[in-house]
Amino acid sequence: MMKPSTDPTDDMELSTPRYAYRASLVGAAQQYELTEAGLSWQIGGRSGLWPYGSIAKVRLSFRPVSMQSRRFRADLVDQAGHKLRILSTSWQTVALMAPQDQAYRAFIVELHRRMQAAGSRAELVGGLPPLKHTFGLVGVALVAAALLGLLARAVATGQWGGAVFLIGFACLFLWQVGGFIRRNRPRNYTFEMLPADLLP
C-alpha cells in the first residue's frame, strides 16, 4: 500500500502548476506559475502577479512556424492593458524547437479553471482577429485562382507534367494554409468549452 507523501514540496508541486519556455534562442526563459493569488510570471529580470480576476482577455490561436508545424499560442491581456504571450514550443538548440504539448495544454486548461473559479468575466476568444482572418481568406482565394489558371493553361497546352506538379502543389498549399485558416477562424468560447483545435 502506497504511503501518503510527507514532503511539503509535493503538495506545493501539486497546487502550483508551472510552465516555462524559451521564445528565442538568445532570449531569457519565460516562467509562469498558477498560485493561489493569481498568475505569477517571470521574464528575464521582470516579474509580476496577475490576480485571476484582473485578466481581461484570453486569445487562443494556432501559430505554426517553419521549424515547428504544431505551435499554439495564448495571448493574455490584463485590465491595465499589459500583455503576456505563452507558446507551446521552446527553443532548445539552433536547430531544434521542441514541442511541449502536454505541459502547455495542462497549464492553459488549469488557468481557465482557476479564472472561472475566481469569477472571471474575461473575454475569451479563439483564432485570429477578424480583419487578419479576412486578409488570409482573400490571400488563399487569390492563390487558388492563380493556380487554377495555370492548371487550365497546362492542360490546354498538353503539359501534363506541369499539370501534375500544380495539382500536387495545390493540395499541399490547401492542406497547410487552409488548415491554418480553418483553425484560426474568429470565435468566442466559454470556460466550459475550450476550443479543441486551438489546444495541442
For 67-106, the pLDDT digits (tens) are 677 899 999 999 999 999 999 999 887 667 889 999 999 9
What phi, psi does 118 have (nearest 5°)? -85, 0
Tens-place pLDDT, residues 35-78: 999 999 999 889 999 999 999 999 999 998 766 778 999 999 99
DSSP tag of 13: H
pLDDT 10s digits, 150-178 = 878 878 887 888 777 777 777 776 667 77
Written as nine digits, the cell of 169 is 502543389
- Residue 20: predicted pLDDT: 95
Identify residue 17 by its one-letter amino acid code: P
Instruction: Let me know: does 150 contact 109? Beta carbons within 8 Å.
Output: no
Q: How far apart are CA 56 and CA 35, in angstroms?
A: 18
What is the 8-class DSSP label of residue 195?
-
